[in-house]
A and B are shown apart, each in its own frame.
Chain A
Amino acid sequence: MPMPASSTHVQPRYWYNPLIKSKYSVVPGLLAVVLMLVPSMLTAIGVVREKELGSIANFYSSPMTKLEFLWGKQIPYIVITAITFIILLGVIIFLFEIPFKGSFPALVSGAMLYIVISTGLGLLISTFTRTQIAALLAAFVITLVPSFDLSGLTSPASTLVGGAKFMSRIFPARYLLNISVGTFTKGIGFAELVWNYVSLIIIYTAIQTMTVLLLKKQEK
């Protein structure tokens, strides 16, 4: 267009991040990637390992229920990831010097919910894979692209189209990204972010239901 970019009729106001520095949205946004990739993969391999090495026979032969087995496998990974999350918070605030402006309980509860989902996704992957290679690859393929490209980290989630829009909506990363960037940089809390928590809870319920349905108490 031949018109000059500067203008006398337009006055932009840059909200939340007046200098438009990418670190204020990318660094908190990366929480959604890190808290997805590592826990889902570790949990998936953790269970499939038992299948491949044979120790899952203990579960098949014991009177343990499915849920006991699943939660017993999941809880250690939740604890490990929660510790990682605390370390990450320190890194974001002190190393990258991103000021925290919003509601801290809102971020922590969102992140905890997200960790339960990402480890739960790992359990779901472990129900349909038999080898550790397959579990490793499945966890990678299922989480890598959606958490980087479809979460809003590279292009805003509201601008996605077609299949990408659909995948972005059913994958939890965009909701944690909203919570994380919202609480860190936008300085908001539960009231504005409520739909993100609702979405995360729906996703968790779906994942948990699928896992219980797919987990076989006895190997065929």
Chain B
Amino acid sequence: MTVQPAPRPATDPSPPAAPDFGSLVREDRVHTSLYTDPRIFATEMDKIFANTWVWVAHASEIPAPGNFKTAHVGTQPVIVTRAPDGRVHVLLNRCRHRAGSVCEQRAGKASVFVCPYHGWSYDLTGRLRGVPHASGYDASFDKKDFPLVNLRVEEYAGLIFATLRADIQPLEAHLGRACKWIDLFMKQGAGFPIKAGGAHRFRFRGNWKIQLENTTDAYHFPIVHRSFLTSLDGETEKVFDVLGQGGWVEDLGNGHSVMVMIPDLVDLEHNLEAPIPERFQALADELALEHPPEQVRRIVRAVGGSGFNVNIFPNIACSMAFFRVLRPVAVDETEITHMVITMDGGPPAANRARLRLHEHFQGPMGFGSPDDAEGWERVQRGAAAGTDLWVMLNRGKERDVSAETGMRAAYQMWRRMMMA
């Protein structure tokens, strides 16, 4: 017997009503659909990533006029350039003629970006310079009408942010109480300028907010990273006992938060008289050959990074010793960049130590990151079940480092922006 398939409707049924975003976020929980619903993801790109300050670069990545890097604002590709006058421009990476991307390099030096399709060329500020065979356009055609789209750009402490909005508050006001923590974080240059010195990139099959939560989640650390902790000597293992040192989490407003795991390493310019940890003694001895004792102490105290993560909503964290950047790719795919921090012009031995410490935990084969990525994929896989259930964020009280305070702060900002 053959079964006839049901006749297809002449037109697709009308899409279900848009989710009621306000009802999906409560004080202590968020709805599972925030990880899984493609309509929510599309709205996030519009209501969040196109509506606030999004981190695009560290100033050291484009140190001189002509330097550029490519980045994303949400899912939109951009080019971050330093123009001849030293100013930073963030340009949509899309030719104004027929939409070809004008730059496919991760970073480099250039004076002009040329669309490979019909040869329209743009300078570092986005101005349209050349149009081949311009006689084919009528007299009303004016190159001034077709620059690469410039985003608004502001910088704080070397962190370069861009926004598609001309009318939102200045960056520093948006960062607010996070500024103090960013300033503390930058002390790990130990007197040298901070340099973003290379990066690990990896993707996981999961929603971007799973990563957003993770940088303010101390609770997972001793569980997920047991194999990292086991690889450490006893003294270093104590340093990474993140739940046992009286740390805390603070809501800093606008979705930002700070998680202090090692209170002793909040201010790297304090307590310089503390004894040099055994794990850094060989480095200290090497530095002592060329640097005065006070500078050796300052560098060694800073070399392992800060004792906290400051999470800036929606896409950057200054995380202990590195910058963590998240890029939403799809509702169930996210790209993470972990940028190592070095001291620009600092002692090579100390910078090598920073590189090796970063490699130890971070990256696709680090002793920590692959387990994080696996955990996040397990969240996305699990979220396919119990679609009416909630993701719980009700852990913790005042002054508890494993409290889910930072996640609650981020989701309240999410709610505010999605309902605006």
**A and B, one complex?**
no
Residues of A whose CB lies within 8 Å of any CB of B are none
Residues of B whose CB lies within 8 Å of any CB of A are none
